[in-house]
Amino acid sequence: MPPPSPHTTPAAPARITILVDNAVNRAGLRAEHGWAVWIETGDRAVLFDTGQSDLVIANADALGLRFEALDAVVLSHGHYDHTGGLAAVLARARDGIRVYAHPAALQPKYRCTPAGSRPIGIPADGLAALHRPSVDLRAVEAPTDVAPGLWISGPVPRRHPEEVPEPGFNLDPAGRVTDPLDDDLALCLETPAGRVVVLGCAHRGVIATLDQVAALRPTARLQAVMGGMHLRSAAPSTLQWTVDALKHSGYERFLPAHCTGLPAVAALWAACPGQCSEAGVGKSTVAVNLAVPILALAAAPTTAAKDAAVTTPNPPKETPMRLAIPIADGRLSMHFGHCESFALIDVDPATKAILKEETLTAPPHEPGLLPRWLAEKGATVIIAGGMGQRAQGLFAEQGITVIVGAPAEAPQALAKAYLAGTLKTGSNVCDH
Contact 321, 415 (CB under 8 A): no
**Count of Cβ atoms closer than 10 Å to residue 30 Cβ:** 13
Report pLDDT for 394: 79
Report pLDDT for 302: 34
Helix (H) or strand (E) segment spanning residue 151: strand 150-152
In the sheet with 222-228, reading across from the earlier edge strand, the strands are: 144-147, 150-152, 186-191, 194-199, 222-228, 253-257
Distance CA 369, CA 377 (A): 12
**Count of Cβ atoms closer than 10 Å to residue 238 Cβ:** 18
Domains of the chain, earliest start first: 12-289 (3.60.15.10), 321-420 (3.30.420.130)
From the list 66, 20, 175, the residue with the least C-alpha distance to 111 is: 175
What is the pLDDT tens value at each position of the chain, 432 positions in all? 334 434 323 234 578 999 999 999 888 999 999 999 999 988 899 999 999 999 999 999 999 999 999 999 999 999 999 999 999 999 999 999 999 999 999 999 999 999 999 999 999 999 999 999 999 999 999 999 999 889 999 999 999 999 988 999 999 999 999 999 999 999 999 887 789 999 999 999 999 999 999 999 988 688 899 999 999 889 899 999 999 999 999 998 999 999 999 999 999 999 998 889 889 999 887 654 333 332 322 223 333 333 333 333 333 334 468 999 999 989 998 877 778 899 999 988 777 889 999 999 999 878 788 888 998 898 888 898 888 767 776 776 677 877 888 899 999 999 998 887 777 776 655 554
Distance CA 143, CA 148 (A): 14
Contacts with 410 (C-beta within 8 Å, 6 or more apart), sequence order: 330, 331, 332
From the list 42, 65, 15, the residue with the least C-alpha distance to 287 is: 15
Distance CA 432, CA 421 (A): 27
Report pLDDT for 300: 30
Report pLDDT for 351: 79
Backbone dihedral region of 37: left (phi > 0), alpha (psi from -120 to 50 degrees) or beta? beta
Any idea what DSSP says for residue 276? B
Report pLDDT for 420: 77
Report pLDDT for 8: 29
Distance CA 63, CA 57 (A): 10
Distance CA 327, CA 411 (A): 8
Distance CA 290, CA 293 (A): 10
Helices within 184-334 (DSSP H only):
206-216, 236-247, 262-271
Residue 383 β-bridge partners: 403
Contacts with 73 (C-beta within 8 Å, 6 or more apart), sequence order: 46, 47, 48, 50, 86, 89, 90, 93, 97, 98, 99, 100
pTM: 0.68
User: What sign for the dihedral angle of Cα 385, 386, 389, 390?
Assistant: negative
Nearest 5°: phi and psi at 414? -65, -40
From the list 133, 131, 105, the residue with the least C-alpha distance to 120 is: 105
Distance CA 29, CA 31 (A): 7
Report pLDDT for 316: 35
